[in-house]
Amino acid sequence: MVDILSDLKAGIVGWGAYIPPYRIKAEEIGGLWGFDPFTAKIIWIEEKAVGNIDEDTITIGWRASKYAIQRAGVDPSEIEAVFVGTESKPYSVKPSATVIADALGIPPAKLTSDLEFACRAASEAIRISVSLVNTKTAKYTLVIGADTAQASPGDVLEFTASSGGVALVIGSIENAAAIIEDSYTYVTDTPDFWRREHVPYPEHGEAFTGEPAYFNHIINAVKGLFSKGYKPSDFDYAIFHQPNGKFPLQVGSKLGFPKEKILPGLVTPYIGNTYNGSALMGLAKVLEEAKPGTRILLAPFGSGAGSDAYAITVTEKVLEKRDKAPKVVDMISRKIYVDYARYSKMRNKILRYMR
């Protein structure tokens, strides 16, 4: 049994997620671009969520935030910091966070920024939030991880790059549905996946994104957390950044977690990789089903590269907050299928003139 160390903790006071209802099947993408029929199965991706033509990181982030604030039960005027972690900003220069904040009625006296670190920018904002809450710089913060991830048509990433987002209201542990007990971050300069300026789609090192990037950083981050006094059996759930359905199972196994602890937080096979929403989406789902007292390992990862590892304990308060907003399982099962043509239109992949 691990003692909960130190007073420098903060908690997740509310959480919310939004997954657009549209889906495109993996075989639709693979069939068009001539992938061998087993590719999707091997990486375990069945279908992905597609944002509509009038959706973007700001609109998705807003909706997830609305649900998070509903669950938190706080007034928007009590939120004193807003962070949006995303790699698909509607504006290269102009923060998404200000639009979302004003649209939610969060007043001007606040720390606000968009953060970039591929898929882990929102996680960085969680770590920053814990410090802000503990130094009493902010009573509550709003952390949003949302993306309308794009991949080059025909690239294997296109199977999984999807749209969706998660928001967390972080504050002191009194009102928290889950307490962030401890964390560890591990970051190096690793060029596994990148996108140059003015270029619409990212490039990646294919297999290089595996061992040297995803696995190396997650394993080091989690081991760093373990060194503070945790072991795998202390956790009931292990939620990892999930670029596909296979990697989380692999890295979880390497770290000593059985499949049963990983599957509940694994959603990518059904909705794709929502990038900054990826690991957090698994967290949102688990918060909607876990019993009070259970402990969660959360390990987001972002290319470039870096990973965080959190030890999060669920409190009694989670029970009263769960039903105050739509749940991830319900959003996963709400589907409207689209074909490749409609998906291309919705995600602005078709060169056209303004009509």
Partner 1 sequence: MFEKSPAKIWRNRDVVYRLKYTYCRRCGKSFYPPRARCVYCGSQDIEYRYSSGRGVLKEYTIVYQVPKGFGEQSPLVIGLVELDEGFRVVSQIVDVELDKIRVGMRVEAVLRRMFVDGPTGLIQYGLKFTPLPQ
Give contact residues for partner 1 (rule: CB under 8 A): 20-22, 52-56, 58-59, 62-63, 90-91, 99, 102-103, 105, 326, 330, 334, 336, 345, 352, 354-355
> How far is the first Cα of the chain from the last one, in angstroms, to the nearest whole number?
63
Could you tell me if 168 and 4 are in contact, meaning their C-beta atoms sit under 8 angstroms apart? no
Distance of alpha carbon 349 from alpha carbon 167, whole angstroms: 27
Question: 87 an active-site residue?
Answer: yes
* CB 344 to partner 1: min, Å: 12
Q: Quickly list DSSP for 60-109.
A: HHHHHHHHHHHHHT--GGGEEEEEEE-S--S-SSS-HHHHHHHHHT--SS
Give 316 or 330: the residue with its C-beta nearer to partner 1: 330
> Which two three-digit tokens encode residue 54?
């009038």
**Identified catalytic residue from 47, 80, 119, 181:** 119
Give 144 or 262: the residue with its C-beta nearer to partner 1: 144
* CB 62 to partner 1: min, Å: 4
* CB 53 to partner 1: min, Å: 6
* CB 186 to partner 1: min, Å: 35
Question: 241 an active-site residue?
Answer: yes
Give 101 or 125: the residue with its C-beta nearer to partner 1: 101
Binning the chain into helix, strand and coil, the percentages to the nearest 5 are: 40, 25, 35
**Identified catalytic residue from 87, 124, 181, 288:** 87
Of 198, 191, 199, which Cα lies nearest the Cα of 152? 199
Of 155, 146, 185, which Cα lies nearest the Cα of 63? 146
**Identified catalytic residue from 47, 80, 124, 241:** 241
* CB 31 to partner 1: min, Å: 24
Enumerate residues 6+ apart whose C-beta is below 8 A from 178.
Answer: 11, 12, 287, 296, 312, 313, 314, 315, 318
Distance of alpha carbon 250 from alpha carbon 345, whole angstroms: 35
SS3 310: strand
Give 1 or 354: the residue with its C-beta nearer to partner 1: 354
Give 19 or 118: the residue with its C-beta nearer to partner 1: 19
> What separation in angstroms does the CA of 45 have from each of 27, 40, 203?
10, 5, 20
* CB 175 to partner 1: min, Å: 23
Question: 198 an active-site residue?
Answer: no
Give 103 or 111: the residue with its C-beta nearer to partner 1: 103
Of 236, 250, 153, 272, which Cα lies nearest the Cα of 201? 153
Catalytic residues: 87, 119, 241
